[in-house]
Amino acid sequence: MTRLRALWARFEELLREIAKFGIVGLIALVVDVGLFNILLFAGGAGPLNDKPLTAKVISVVVATTVAYVGNRFWTFRHRGRTHTVAREYVLFVVLNGVAMGIALGCLWFSHYALGLTSPLADNISANVIGLGLGTLFRFWSYRKWVFPAIPDADRELAERDAITPI
């Protein structure tokens, strides 16, 4: 019975991480889309109304930073830190870039290889399939490389400091 309890405890921890990861991701998405639109359209003509690429770069950098802080200090705060904050953040950004490449790859394949060029097809391939696969990659890669598991000896201390319900 203790093995079953241990397995359930690990599953509960994973579910908590997934839920928190999703909440952080939604907040980062709101920051990204909101800031992008403010920079382009605030007051009828935002400060960057003629520079959509610049606006998007700024909104993505801010949203990525929000996601990093939320994941480091909430979602994965009970997990190890094997890097300095700067190195951890750079790794986080690089893995976000890989996830963006996954979404772009899905869009490219659907649009150019399969010839599905409608707005609906582009949105499904980029924002449903690509974003979904990219999100799975982010969660897995953050747990593996950015916020790694800590040895059992340190786990008890981390859990005691980090136990908070969603």
- With bands split at pLDDT 50, 70 and 90, how would you rate the model's confidence at 162? low
Q: Does residue 166 fall inside a structural domain?
A: no
Q: Is the pLDDT of residue 65 over 50?
A: yes
- Shared domain for 57 and 117, answered yes or no, is no
- Shared domain for 72 and 121, answered yes or no, is no
- Shared domain for 36 and 109, answered yes or no, is no
Q: Is the pLDDT of residue 163 over 90?
A: no
Which residues constitute the domain of residue 128? 81-150
Give me the pLDDT at residue 153, please.
46
Predicted confidence (pLDDT) per residue in 70-111, tens digit? 999 999 998 888 778 899 999 999 999 999 999 889 989 999
- Shared domain for 74 and 8, answered yes or no, is yes
Q: Does residue 156 fall inside a structural domain?
A: no
Q: Is the pLDDT of residue 47 over 60?
A: yes
- Shared domain for 29 and 85, answered yes or no, is no
- Shared domain for 90 and 40, answered yes or no, is no
- Shared domain for 71 and 98, answered yes or no, is no
Q: How many domains does the chain have?
A: 2
Percent of the chain with pLDDT over 70: 90
SS3 letters across the chain: CHHHHHHHHHHHHHHHHHHHHHHHHHHHHHHHHHHHHHHHHHHHCCCCCCCHHHHHHHHHHHHHHHHHHHHHHHHCCCCCCCCCHHHHHHHHHHHHHHHHHHHHHHHHHHHHHCCCCCHHHHHHHHHHHHHHHHHHHHHHHHHHHHCCCCCHHHHHHHHHHHCCCC
- Shared domain for 8 and 64, answered yes or no, is yes
